[in-house]
A and B are shown apart, each in its own frame.
Chain A
Amino acid sequence: QSALTQPASVSGSPGQSITISCTGTSSDVGSYNLVSWYQQHPGKAPKLMIYEGSKRPSGVSNRFSGSKSGNTASLTISGLQAEDEADYYCCSYAGSSPLFGGGTKLTVL
């Protein structure tokens, strides 16, 4: 199985909104409502931001939201803040083996 497809980089100014896409296939993203999104700052462990497509773990800002259409999932960050600058990874259940995206570097201008 190939990794899910994410844009290598996105950028936005403070206060703006950005969306990161995550494209899979009908065997993974399209088949399950089990897409997660992770934020990773340099040298740190990943942090779960969204699970089951659109749910936020306790403590995660409501500026982060997730959605899905067909084989593509999306992470939207509204009201961009400097601390949002990080790498973001999507992950989809794909039967017995979860599949990660290649990662997207978010730059806050």
Chain B
Amino acid sequence: EVQLVESGGGLVKPGGSLRLSCAASGFTFSSYSMNWVRQAPGKGLEWVSSISSSSSYIYYADSVKGRFTISRDNAKNSLYLQMNSLRAEDTAVYYCARGKSGSYGYWGQGTLVTVSS
């Protein structure tokens, strides 16, 4: 059974940093592109970043470019999102999702990031 479990969310002050993790199991992690998608409270879904299976291709939404860094460790079956210079508008549930080109067949349960002073 495919499982994606996010962790690392919490309350952080504006300008602060946070690192999210996503532990994958039940599939060959190294064969799949992975993504972060977020959802602000009461709002819609927003794609944040994608990374190809071997980390050769990495993409970011304009809203996070230069502040967030996606990475993966295929040996540890883990996906990461390093978030720096956090802003109030980054407050959201962050989901880890497997897939590519906008088609995400598996999602984690999400981890809440709250940016507030």
Alpha-carbon gap, A39 to B38, bound state (A): 15
Please report the C-alpha to C-alpha distance between residue A98 and residue B59 in the assembled complex, in whole angstroms.
Answer: 10
Q: Which residues of A contact B110 (CB under 8 A)?
A: 45
Are A57 and B105 in contact (CB-based, < 8 A)?
yes
- Quick one: given A45-B107, A45-B109, are A97 and B47 in contact (CB under 8 Å)? yes
Return the chain B residue nearest A96 by Cβ: B59
Number of interface residues of B (CB under 8 A): 20
- Tell me the bound Cα distance from A36 to B45 in angstroms: 13
From B44, B59, B99, B102, A3 is in contact (CB under 8 Å) with B44
CB nearest neighbor in A for B58:
A96
Tell me which of A40, A92, A98 has the highest count of chain B C-beta atoms within 10 A of its own C-beta: A98
- List chain A residues, Cβ under 8 A from B61: 97
Chain B contacts of A79 at CB under 8 A?
none
Q: Does B103 contact A (CB under 8 A)?
A: yes
- What CA separation (Å) do A37 and B60 show in the bound complex? 21
A47 cross-chain contacts in B, Cβ below 8 A: 107
Interface: B31 (CB within 8 A)? no
Report if B95 contacts A (CB, 8 A).
Answer: yes
**Is the CB–CB distance between A101 and B44 below 8 Å?**
yes
**In this complex, what residue of B is CB-closest to A51?**
B103
Q: Are A89 and B45 in contact (CB under 8 A)?
A: yes
In the complex, A64 has a CB within 8 A of chain B: no
Of B45, B50, B59, B62, which is within 8 A of A46 by CB?
A: B45
Pairwise interchain contact B103-A100, C-beta atoms closer than 8 A: no
Q: Mark B91-104, 1 if CB is under 8 A from A, else 0.
A: 00001000101111
**How distant is the Cα of A60 from the Cα of B17 in the complex, in angstroms?**
39
Not counting A52-B103, A97-B61, a sample of 4 additional A-B residue pairs whose C-beta atoms are within 8 angstroms of each other reads A45-B107, A51-B105, A89-B45, A91-B102
B interface residue numbers (CB < 8 A to A)? 37, 44-47, 50, 59, 61-62, 95, 99, 101-105, 107-110
Chain A residues near B (Cβ < 8 Å): 3, 32, 34-36, 38, 40, 45-48, 51-52, 57, 89, 91-94, 96-103
